[in-house]
A and B are shown apart, each in its own frame.
Chain A
């Protein structure tokens, strides 16, 4: 047994570390199309102190450390590109506190979205968090660390903007409290009125530290939730429609989606509009507001509301289980998407690009855009399914996604949860002084370069 393995066992116990071929094989990959790379160890800590000791060991021995939630980014962010330790955080899954009056929760760094949802439903039914449509196994900390979105992103911004405090193990082993918890027992603010240090960890994809606790804003969970589905075949009208809808300031969530299969959806753009209320009157009022806002498109016969009855249950689910089902459309167990953040006026160009790429690379697409922060921007997902038993199809999907990212950058968009190649493309295009600032931060925080190396490689 190697000294490293012995040391890791000493920290987390025998059941907390593995270097068997089975775990190494599994933790070398994610469900996307990127090439796997084997780690040397997989380690599953249960406490911040264990994380701290692992990081100190890794620092001393110059071993890469890759923190991992459920590994569902699909863009290879937890693939250990340079080997080392994959740190499976999911055993740190306690809900530590809910402050109902201040509307925040504090959870450990491996707590899943599903567990928090169920906990709030049972103990604080008047509260909710911004749950993403990713599977419920995905973790809250990982979602925030990659600037994820959720059901309340249209109203309140990226899920990372909902962070109210962090406990982070720095790459050099210090345990650091960020925001109001650094001053007292309350987790109500990540920074203001102090400098917002959480930005040193959010969006860094695990390259600047390991989130071991996270505070998250909660929001009112209204008694009634409803949905409308507006359909148009005029892609050029979508930005205006979205602009009018966001002007109302009453919508919980807005998604625009289009896909060629099933055939009944082909050629149309579907805008799913969610709204909430505490009374039927409030719901009826909001529905009327939405209908009034879009009346002109119905008058001109450019669009109309579609009955949602037969798919209402699916649309109302949180998370939407049907989204994962896209992976099996080519009977093959996979899909991956590029999800640039961009302005809504570019919707028509992105929509055209999706169709073009799908035809060029002979792959199946589905696309969905979610509005962010009342329409300041949107996440436009360019999603391609593949058959995992068909390497050629996986390669075509990879090329299509690469081209989608290049297009997004040309259009002034920002790739979301970029893979290591896309990160390089971003850094090449980035303002040089901004890149220099990234270098200063990364090199100071992680002098040995042990944190998720291969990602945000600012020095290469």
Chain B
């Protein structure tokens, strides 16, 4: 076939039957595609996107702001990849969406919010447009030192470094690592954006530059092992950096903390509270890390862990993936992902929603406020919950 546009997986796109399994979790309890849930048009579902991309490849529809919105409302949660009934090509669905976004970037036909995100990263090195010199401020008082040949690099990422909610998470993790005697350092003002969201939003040139600079710096400093606060960083370090020559051993902080608790290097006291755990897409579906956060919570005396109906492989996204944390294309309507998810958490009668990703923490904290649930539900990082158990 000859196409009007070029994407790597163009020869697969027509194979989608648009049957719609991709919209659901495995038990069909509710729609599990955040953009379809929020917008309600079939065009915003994975199958809808596939069919539209085919029409766009064939020049039956043109690049437009609406087409771009449909593409950029995808939160890259990978639910579709797991639920699609076509094993021969389902693994490529997220790639097809990302490749199409990359083409829109090349054509300059992207939403203004996405353009502004790229500009902020390119100019300021972070989406908040804050000075690089402030990047390591979150670590003050944690005991973490600049990286100088320690066993691990603790990588905080943009959200952990600059966002208030993310900083709290980063501080609590940093303090626990430090108190437990883990040999870990930080890059502070030398840390750069990992490029995860840049890639998923389709700016491949900028992503490659960021990744190569990070790889160069990590290698120059002799970094071999990395602990990430952010599952998005974990994902890109594990899956994309090796393709550019960056082979590191990468861990999510919950994996390290679970080991420390198991080895009794973090002493815990009673903290009687009912907790539900929200699986971040980039930790769970993208990297199959479901156990460690739950092991930590179950190890805290007094914590009662209750699952939301949709959990683990079937977890509903907070809406922050695919760059939506910054671009907010999904919006904050009643059916926006974060609001749906905190209502699901509320239904468990848990007092705390435990999270393991700074983006999830922020998205769900905001949703708790919008839903007026501040008095009944608190969003906390796993390490923050451990800190409470230590303080008691």
A interface residues, Cβ below 8 angstroms from B: 15, 18, 20-23, 25-27, 31, 42, 44, 70-72, 88, 90-91, 112-115, 117-119, 121-122, 135-138, 321-322, 324-325, 327-328, 331-335, 387-389
- A173→B269 CA distance, assembly (Å): 65
Most chain A CB within 10 A, of B17, B52, B87, B89, is at: B17
**Which of A20, A72, A119, A387 is close to B29, meaning CB atoms less than 8 Å apart?**
A119
**Chain A-chain B contacts (Cβ-Cβ < 8 Å), number:** 110
List the B residue with the shortest CB-CB distance to A326.
B17
Instruction: Say which one of B37-45, B173-181, B219-227, B317-325 lies at the interface with A.
Output: B37-45
The residues in B between 39 and 65 inclusive whose CB is less than 8 angstroms from any CB of A are: 39-43, 48, 51-52, 54-55, 60-62, 64
Assuming the contacts A118-B29, A136-B24, asked whether A328 and B1 have C-beta atoms less than 8 A apart, the reply is: no
B29: A residues at CB distance < 8 A: 115, 118-119, 122
A138: B residues at CB distance < 8 A: 20
A22: B residues at CB distance < 8 A: 43, 52, 61, 64, 66-67, 70
Report yes or no: B40 in contact with A90, Cβ–Cβ below 8 A.
yes
A to B CB contacts below 8 Å, 21 in the list: A15-B39, A20-B64, A21-B61, A22-B52, A25-B52, A25-B60, A26-B41, A27-B42, A118-B27, A122-B309, A136-B24, A137-B19, A138-B20, A324-B85, A325-B85, A325-B87, A327-B15, A327-B86, A328-B15, A328-B88, A331-B88
Other than the known A122-B309, A328-B17, what 5 A-B pairs have Cβ atoms closer than 8 Å? A21-B64, A22-B61, A22-B67, A71-B42, A324-B85
A180 CB, nearest partner CB in chain B, Å: 29
The residues in B between 135 and 178 inclusive whose CB is less than 8 angstroms from any CB of A are: none
Report yes or no: B62 in contact with A72, Cβ–Cβ below 8 A.
no
A31: B residues at CB distance < 8 A: 17-19
Report yes or no: A334 in contact with B20, Cβ–Cβ below 8 A.
no
Report yes or no: A388 in contact with B14, Cβ–Cβ below 8 A.
yes
Interface size class of B (residues with CB under 8 A): 35 or more
Judged by a CB distance under 8 angstroms, whether B118 is at the interface is no
A92 CB, nearest partner CB in chain B, Å: 11
- A432→B16 CA distance, assembly (Å): 43
Report yes or no: B86 in contact with A325, Cβ–Cβ below 8 A.
yes
Assuming the contacts A22-B67, A322-B85, asked whether A42 and B41 have C-beta atoms less than 8 A apart, the reply is: yes
Judged by a CB distance under 8 angstroms, whether B30 is at the interface is yes
B335 CB, nearest partner CB in chain A, Å: 9
List the A residue with the shortest CB-CB distance to B62.
A21
B48: A residues at CB distance < 8 A: 26
Report yes or no: A334 in contact with B41, Cβ–Cβ below 8 A.
no
- A119→B28 CA distance, assembly (Å): 9
- A25→B333 CA distance, assembly (Å): 26
- A332→B54 CA distance, assembly (Å): 12
Report yes or no: A26 in contact with B51, Cβ–Cβ below 8 A.
yes
- A44→B335 CA distance, assembly (Å): 15
Report yes or no: A115 in contact with B14, Cβ–Cβ below 8 A.
no
**Which of A118, A335, A387, A388 is close to B28, meaning CB atoms less than 8 Å apart?**
A118
Report yes or no: B41 in contact with A44, Cβ–Cβ below 8 A.
yes
